[in-house]
Chain A
Amino acid sequence: MATLILRRILIAIPTLFLVSLFVFALQRALPGDPFLVIAGEERDPEVIARLREIYRLDDPVIVQFFAWLGQVVQGDFGRSLRTGEPVLGLILQKLPVTIQLATASILVAIVIGIPIGILAARHKGTVVDYSASAVALSGLSIPNFWFGIMLILLVSVHLKWLPASGYESIFVHPWEAIQRLIMPAFVLGNGLAAFLMRHTRSAMLEVLRSDYVRTARAKGLDEDAVIHRHALRNALMPIITLTTLLFGELLAGAVLTEQVFTIPGFGKLIVDAVFNRDYGVVQGVVLCTAIGFILMNLIADILYVVVNPRLRTG
């Protein structure tokens, strides 16, 4: 196990390096001068030149990259060009926000997706199955942005049931946090729910066709027991792995969902940073996201080994 983790970490280092270099180069290739953008109407050429000098923007890109890398290795992610705040502080401030949203969305996806998937598999080829598929398809095809705005208009503006936007930490104001989480988690979770539902359905169908299920039925067990006690457990195996891999999906979805519900998370941070050419922030966020991905994959790998002893070596 330790060798596996160690090997994974060693492989991660060049990956992170390449991701950083790629994003760094890509950003510099984008047209637009960050200081011209952030100076907006106050563009005093002297000040812009001075700022470019302070932030070393006139150095060759490769020199800038290694200067940045040298700082990062020492734990200094630099400062936001736009607000002057430390990048690492911003990331640490925004990360829990998005993790909270992502966790809630995964919960929504599981609660909706898996039961409907089971239901569809049980009643394969019936109205139930087709309507479940229709719901799943619409869940996948409705754009988050539009769905979010519609929900706000209905639930917040018209019915006045839930606050329209904002964020509270679940550990500080749990009740307010839940109210503010319901809609965004639903919007972000419904697409994933559709995805989970389809996979649950096909995994279930596969399992239901297997010999041991037939045996269970032949034994005279009632259908509920067959499904829940025997079929579901095996069908869930691939679903669990899928769920960990949905992390990337979630982060991409969070970008839009956070915009609509004005949640000050990672997604909103990166979008604003890109538009403002806030190089340091984009760079820091990308690096953290890449680390997150690698961690998730590592966890998935470890889980495999834990679950399936045949994969254990030496």
Chain B
Amino acid sequence: MKLLKVAISAAALALAIVPALAQAPSTLRIGLQEDPDMLDPHKARTFVGRIVFMGLCDRLVDITPELKLVPRLATEWNFSADGLTLTMKLRSDAKFHDGEAFNAEAAKANLERARTLPDSLRKAELASVDTIEAPDATTLVLKLKRPDATLLSQLTDRAGMMLSPKSLSGDVAAKPICSGPYKFVERVQNDRIVLEKFKEHWEADKYSFDRILYRAIPDTTVRLANLRSGELDMLERLAPTDVKSAQSDKSLKVESVANLGYQGITINTNNGEAANQPMGKDKRVRQALSLSIDRKVLSQVVFEGLYAPSNQPFNPGNFYVSADLPIPARDLAKAKALLKEARQSKVSVELFVTNNPVDAQLGQVIQAMAQEAGIDIQIRSTEFASQLRDQQQGKFQMSRVGWSGRIDPDGNIHPFAHSKGNQNDGKYANPEVDKLLDEARTIYEPAERKKRYDAAQKILQDELPIIYLYNQTVFFAMRSNIQGFAINPDGMIRLAGLKRS
């Protein structure tokens, strides 16, 4: 028996030592919530995919945590006086992973592919571009159909990512050849993506890890357990319920930032039969619902108070948040008065939620709060795929959904509130709002632009096609020896400056 005990301890010790030896010290291991989709910037759709592209593919422009545009492959840029020509100066020392030089011709070829590939998902992002010219190796000229204030922000992401021109005709997703600080090594679907340092990168000295290993671990508890056991160096999207326990663990640290998106309730005001009920037809009923919800309590009950209450499509602290629209306090008396005014003593309405524990709880809290004002909510819960389809087809009265957010304000409001917006599932339509949102797109001067958004928001806050509830805080957790993480509201992991102490 004693011998057995000794043998077990010895085996356990041996097992414990080996992982430490097996893992080379300069690999950064990052836990992702999902497995990315196609690793082709022009076809890619997922948030986690963008995280991987941060290491793999350089973009023309980047953003700072304050959402300021900064140079990346483009060193400077300016718009012509009429706003119809964007001229960019490009780096001359950037190379693709296959050794080809990056130049204006390459940039042109990439943008053309993004615009013309049949299954490109970047077409809408580059819709304002008319023609692309490359007068010399370091100059790129985009002629626009209309002034487009969102264009530079688009170029900070996948639309502005550069693939080696030689690889454009092949199967890009199988082996993406970009110009980023790390090059593609291998991918095992549902498991890992491995990148290796590209030594000829123009900024190679800023990247201290030799390899980056992205692992897809969807279960939040398991992902955190992997970080705790030292299998991961950092993870994205730590669950709010795990924040406290991660913070109390000395071997870990947690960083957070308000994300760019919003979370709320989309109401069917105009999409088919389901809109024909008081909640869809009468703005006073929607106002009553909004007033019945205590956003602060909601965050406390469901998210341990970690998510900031919100009533606008932009994240707290964003330049475009309107100061004239403070978060309304809960006001049951006023809510009841509004219902009375609308001649609705008892409103019955259905709320669509995704069938996960968090959304179910959210739905119940909203239900309980609305009940007190005299709004009777029935909760319908399905998995996300069905919710999305029903929502798009107008088979919903209210739906609890959110948006991950875009750098440019347009991306958070135009698709949802414009009558032709492709995410406007409630088919809300107001010509005045359409006009303001269309105008705002074309104005380069931020203060002037903000005036349009403020005006549009004033109408939207009155008519409430979307009731905004809270902003999701993004939490990253990492081993405490990981230094130099520059957190950014876009939720990406930028690898520059990251190191292990």
Interface residues in chain A, defined as those with a beta carbon under 8 Å from any beta carbon in chain B: 30-33, 36-47, 50-51, 54, 80, 82-85, 90, 93-94, 149, 152-153, 156-157, 159-167, 173, 175-176, 179, 259-262, 264, 268-269, 272, 275-277
- Supposing A36-B385, A43-B422, A149-B222 touch, asked if A179 and B45 sit within 8 A by C-beta, the answer is no
B384 surroundings in chain A (CB, below 8 A): 37
Judge whether B28 is part of the interface by a CB distance below 8 angstroms. Answer: no
Question: Which of chain A's residues have a CB closer than 8 A to the CB of B189?
Answer: 80, 83, 85, 90, 93, 264, 269
Give the Cβ gap from B6 to chain A, nearest Cβ, in Å: 16
CB distance from B398 to the nearest CB of A (A): 19
| With A42-B45, A160-B229, A164-B222: A36-B119 Cβ-Cβ less than 8 Å | no
**B118 close to A50 (CB less than 8 A):** yes
Closest 5 CB pairs of A and B: A32-B385, A264-B191, A156-B229, A31-B386, A157-B228
The listed residue (A30, A40, A275) touching B45 by CB distance below 8 A is: A40
Given A157-B229, A165-B231, CB of A269 within 8 Å of CB of B190: yes
Q: Are B124 and A44 in contact (CB under 8 A)?
A: yes
In the bound complex, residues from chain B placing their C-beta under 8 Å from that of A167 are 191
* Interface contacts beyond A41-B47, A90-B189, A165-B226: sample of 13 additional A-B pairs, CB < 8 Å, sorted by A: A36-B389, A37-B385, A39-B45, A39-B121, A41-B45, A47-B120, A149-B222, A149-B225, A163-B231, A164-B222, A164-B231, A167-B191, A179-B15
CA of A179 to CA of B231, assembled, Å: 13
A-contact bits for B241-280, CB 8 A (1 contact / 0 none): 0000000000000000000000000000000000000000
Judge if B116 is at the interface, Cβ distance under 8 Å.
no
Within 8 A of A (CB), among B2-32: 12, 15-16, 18-19, 22
Distance between A211 CB and nearest chain B CB, rounded to angstroms:
38
A-B contact pairs, 24 of them (CB 8 A): A31-B382, A32-B389, A33-B389, A37-B385, A38-B37, A38-B45, A39-B121, A41-B423, A44-B123, A47-B120, A82-B38, A83-B37, A84-B38, A84-B40, A84-B171, A156-B229, A156-B231, A161-B12, A161-B16, A164-B229, A175-B18, A179-B19, A264-B188, A264-B189
| Minimum CB–CB distance for A213 against chain B, Å | 31
CB of A41 within 8 A of CB of B404, answer yes
B58 within 8 Å of A by Cβ? no
Q: What B residues does A156 contact at CB under 8 A?
A: 225-226, 228-229, 231
Residues of A within 8 A of B403 (CB): 41
Interface flags, B199-240, vs A, CB<8A=1, else 0:
000000000000000011111011001101111000000000
| A164 contacts across to B, CB distance below 8 A | 222, 225-226, 229, 231
Whether B392 sits at the interface, judged by CB under 8 Å, is yes
For A268, give the chain B residue with the smallest CB separation. B190
B388 CB contacts on chain A under 8 angstroms:
32-33, 36-37
CB-CB under 8 A for A275 and B231, given A41-B404, A50-B119 = no
B119: A residues at CB distance < 8 A: 47, 50-51, 54
Contacts of B383 in A (CB 8 A): 32, 275
CB distance from A207 to the nearest CB of B (A): 30
Residues of A near B385 (CB, < 8 A) are: 30-33, 36-37, 275-277
Cβ A161 vs Cβ B225 within 8 A: no
Q: How far is the CB of B126 from chain A (nearest CB, A)?
A: 12
* Cβ of B438 under 8 Å from chain A: no
Question: Which residue of chain B has the shortest Cβ distance to A51 in the bound complex?
Answer: B119
Number of contacts between A and B (CB, 8 Å)? 146
Is there contact, CB below 8 Å, between A36 and B219?
Answer: no
Which of B15, B121, B124, B215 meets A162, CB within 8 Å?
Answer: B15
Set of chain A residues within 8 Å of B37, measured between Cβ atoms: 38, 82-83
What is the CB-to-nearest-CB distance from B51 to chain A, in angstroms, rounded to a whole number?
Answer: 14
What number of B residues sit within 8 Å (CB to CB) of A?
54
Interface: B173 (CB within 8 A): yes
A54 to B120: give the CA distance in the assembly, Å: 13
For the complex formed, measure the closest distance between the CB of B479 and the CB atoms of chain A, giving whole angstroms. Answer: 13
Verify A262–B191 contact, CB threshold 8 A: yes
Beyond A37-B384, A157-B228, whether A152 also contacts B22 by CB under 8 A is no
Known contacts: A83-B189, A161-B12, A264-B191. The answer to whether A47 contacts B123 by CB under 8 A is yes
A166 and B219 contacting across the interface, CB-CB below 8 Å = no
Q: Please name all residues of chain B whose beta carbon is closer than 8 Å to the beta carbon of A259 when the two chains form the complex.
A: 218-219
Contacts of B490 in A (CB 8 A): none
Task: Provide the bound-state CA to CA distance between A261 and B221, in Å.
Answer: 11
Cα(A241)–Cα(B124), bound, Å: 60
Residues of A within 8 A of B46 (CB): 40
Contact between A160 and B225 (Cβ–Cβ < 8 Å)? no
Contact pick for A31, options B173, B188, B389, CB 8 Å: B389
Bound complex: CA of A34 vs CA of B118, how far in Å? 18
Contacts of B219 in A (CB 8 A): 259-260, 262
Note all chain B residues with C-beta closer than 8 A to A82.
Answer: 37-38
CA of A83 to CA of B389 in the docked complex: distance in angstroms?
21
Is B390 an interface position by the 8 A CB rule? Answer: yes
Q: How far is the CA of A293 from the CA of B322 in the complex (A)?
A: 62
Q: Which A-chain residue is minimally distant from B406 (CB atoms)?
A: A41
CA distance A33 to B385 in the complex (A): 7
Judge if B35 is at the interface, Cβ distance under 8 Å.
yes
Q: Which of B189, B392, B404 has the most CB of A within 10 A?
A: B189
From A31, A47, A163, B229 is in contact (CB under 8 Å) with: A163
User: CB-nearest residue of chain A relative to B224?
Assistant: A157
| Closest chain B residue, CB of each to CB of A269 | B190
Once the chains are docked, how many angstroms separate the CA of A268 from the CA of B226?
18
Cβ–Cβ < 8 Å partners of B229 in chain A: 152, 156-157, 160, 163-164
A276, B37: Cα distance in complex, Å: 11
Residues in A whose Cβ lies below 8 Å from that of B38: 82-84
* Cβ B230 vs Cβ A160 within 8 A: yes
B18 near A32 (CB under 8 angstroms)? no
Q: In angstroms, how far is the closest chain A Cβ from the Cβ of B382?
A: 8
Q: Collect the chain B residues with CB atoms within 8 Å of residue A260's CB.
A: 219, 222
Measured between alpha carbons, how far is A291 from B37 in the docked complex, in Å? 29
Annotate B168-211 by CB proximity to A: 1 below 8 A, 0 otherwise. 00010110000000000000111110000000000000000000
Residues in B with CB closer than 8 Å to A268 are 190
A-contact bits for B62-105, CB 8 A (1 contact / 0 none): 00000000000000000000000000000000000000000000
For B120, list chain A residues within 8 Å (CB): 47
CB neighbours (8 Å) of A269 from chain B are 189-190
State whether A83 and B173 are in contact (beta carbons under 8 Å apart), knowing that A37-B388, A164-B226 are contacts in the complex.
Answer: yes
**B361 shortest CB reach to chain A, Å:** 20
Which of A83, A159, A167, A264 gathers the greatest number of chain B CB atoms within 10 Å?
A83
Residues of B near A272 (CB, < 8 A) are 35, 190
| C-alpha spacing A152/B228, complex, angstroms | 10
**Chain A residues positioned under 8 Å from B423 (CB to CB):** 41, 43
Task: Please determine whether B123 and A46 come into contact, CB atoms closer than 8 angstroms.
Answer: yes
From residue A276, how far is it (CB to closest CB) to chain B in Å? 8
Contact B45 A163 (CB under 8 A): no
A284 CB to closest chain B CB, in angstroms?
Answer: 13
Closest to B19 in A: A163
Complex interface: chain B residues within 8 A of A38 (CB): 37, 45
Q: Which of B322-366 contact A (CB under 8 A)?
A: none
